[in-house]
Amino acid sequence: PLTARANDHDRLEIGGCDVVTLVEQFGSPLYIVDEDTLREGARQYRDLFARYYPGQSQVLYASKAWNCLAICAIVGQENLGIDVVSGGELYTALEAGLPPEKMYLHGNNKSKEELQMAVASGCTVVADNWQDLHQLVAIAKETPDSAIRIMLRFTPGIECHTHEYIRTGHLDSKFGFDPDQIEEVFAFVQQHPILTCIGLHAHIGSQIFERQPHRDLAGVMVQWLKQAAAYQLPITELNVGGGLGIRYTESDDPPSIEEWVKGVSAAIIEACESQQVALPKLLCEPGRSLIGPACVTAYTLGAQKQVPGIRTYLSVDGGMSDNPRPITYQSVYRAVVANRMSAPLTETVTIAGKHCESGDIVIHQASLPKTESGDILVVMTTGAYNYSMASNYNRVPRPAAVLVNDGIANIILARETYEDLIRQDRLPERLAHLS
Ligand code: LLP
């Protein structure tokens, strides 16, 4: 986070709050969100589009990265719109008071209830497939007063080098219409003016470091705009998705937000000029690059195990339930010890989670100072797809999250309790007596 530094007590401080004190106050493990980092990223995206793109633009926060009331409220205050992918994310964004005209509902298998909810609230629907279009036409007929705004998502057929689970732009992807069907889709929408088609969407993947794929995407999408012109659709928006990668470890070298915005803007402008298409309103939907760097997870170190000549395991009080990314994508993280910030990094250890699974390793090779049980280990850059993918595996309650700013810490997610864990359990009467 922008505001992370070692304070005079040799401890990690974020947002003006001493991390060791935060853990004493709010418990462990603890997600700590730095408000300044999130706001600064949002402002950068917004202001840089204003600088580099002469047309209108709108940045949407891809809330799948972390969706809860407080995070929605912050991005809303920064005038970002929001991308939601389920009824639950939509519900949260609405409850946070975000304006529906800046909400976009995604998903490759939206239920009729989710579509109805989006239409009733005034959220734009990103139609991903024929089922979406047919269901939307049916909803439009059932609720004749509703104005239904849609975008059309196509698979762009652009390859990029990222983990295969988070690539979406290649043609063999479950998301979006196949571009071979583009004329058919445009014709359908033209024949159903009950749906107002305002734009086109594509997304190529996540945690992308290469510069070229998004520029290629811009060219492909402007070509689609040109094709759409023949159908007299009210299309004015292009959404190029999200995907900008972030720096988890020293060796990661992603483009800056500025480089990304500048590159995408220039590619759209150039393609529009060469294909003689009017500049569209440009949308993008970053998730990871906004919230990822804004959060850290503080754990307490516990048991140690030395495997002679091989490694030392240091176990923490969380793991794959609060951060499933290492076990899912072999993601690599960096950690510091919050109460020994200036101690020399003399040890190479394996940070293990507490779950009953050998693969539950938070960091395979962490460079740390000498530690003791009770020390506070802080894993950096955990804002994206940690809380949002967290589970109760092994019936471990989800951690609390605090928002820090200027020395003040506010709870934004209360720690789950054991009672929370059995709240949805039901015990049929015939099982109520053990004997
Ligand atoms: N737009 C769409 C349509 C998306 O599918 C995604 C991410 C985004 C925007 C935001 O992408 P970002 O800027 O965050 O890269 N759980 C995986 C990442 C899954 C990404 C899914 N879609 C992970 O932990 O790496």
Q: Which of 103, 248, 288 to mutate for ligand 1's pocket (most ligand atoms within 8 Å of CB)? A: 288
Model pLDDT for residues 13-36, shown as the tens digit of each residue? 999 999 999 999 999 999 999 999
pLDDT at 165 over 70: no
Residues lining ligand 1, Cβ inside 6 A: 62, 64-65, 83, 106, 166, 168, 203, 206-207, 241-244, 285-289, 325, 329, 384-385, 389
Q: Is 329 annotated as a binding residue?
A: yes
What pLDDT does residue 160 have? 74
What's the complex ipTM? 0.99
- Closest-CA residue, ligand 1 atom 7, reads 206
What pLDDT does residue 56 have? 98
pLDDT at 170 over 90: no
Model pLDDT for residues 269-287, shown as the tens digit of each residue? 999 999 999 999 999 999 9
Task: Please give the structure tokens belonging to residue 372.
Answer: 């003791």
pLDDT at 164 over 70: no
Q: Which of 206, 246, 284, 291 to mutate for ligand 1's pocket (most ligand atoms within 8 Å of CB)? A: 206
Measured from the CA of 201, which atom of ligand 1 is nearest? 3
Residue 344 CA, ligand 1 centroid: distance in Å: 37
Secondary structure class of 285 (helix, strand, coil): coil
What pLDDT does residue 146 have? 85
Cβ atoms of residues 31 and 295 within 8 Å: yes
What pLDDT does residue 200 have? 98
pLDDT at 161 over 80: no
Q: Is 286 annotated as a binding residue?
A: yes
One-letter identity of residue 301:
L
**What fold does the segment set 106-285 form as a domain?**
TIM Barrel (3.20.20)
**CATH 3.30.70.1230 applies to domain 5-34+292-422:** no
Q: Is 309 annotated as a binding residue?
A: no
DSSP string, 46-63: HHHHHHH-SS-EEEEEEG
Chain mean pLDDT for the chain: 96
Out of 170-179, 263-272, 296-305, 399-408, pick the least confident.
170-179
Model pLDDT for residues 372-430, shown as the tens digit of each residue? 999 999 999 999 999 999 999 999 999 999 999 999 999 999 999 999 999 999 999 99
The pLDDT of 145-155, averaged and rounded, is 94
- Give the C-alpha separation, 396 to 71, whole Å: 23
- Radius of gyration of the chain measured on its C-alpha atoms: 23
> Is 68 an annotated catalytic residue?
no
Residue 83 CA, ligand 1 centroid: distance in Å: 11
Per domain, the residue ranges of the chain are 5-34+292-422, 106-285
User: What residues pair up with 33 in beta bridges, in sequence order?
Assistant: 295, 403
Question: What residues contact 236, with CB distance under 8 A and at least 6 apart?
Answer: 198, 199, 280, 281
Task: Please give the structure tokens belonging to residue 419.
Answer: 């009672």
Measured from the CA of 208, which atom of ligand 1 is nearest? 15
Residue 152 CA to its chain's centroid (Å): 21
φ, ψ for residue 289, nearest 5 deg: -70, -15
- Give the C-alpha separation, 96 to 299, whole Å: 29
Q: How much of the chain, in percent, has pLDDT values that exceed 90?
A: 94
H helix and E strand count, the chain: 12, 20
What pLDDT does residue 167 have? 67
Model pLDDT for residues 69-79, shown as the tens digit of each residue? 999 999 999 99
* pTM for the predicted model, two decimal places: 0.97
Residue 242 CA, ligand 1 centroid: distance in Å: 7
φ, ψ for residue 62, nearest 5 deg: -80, 95
Q: Is 113 annotated as a binding residue?
A: no
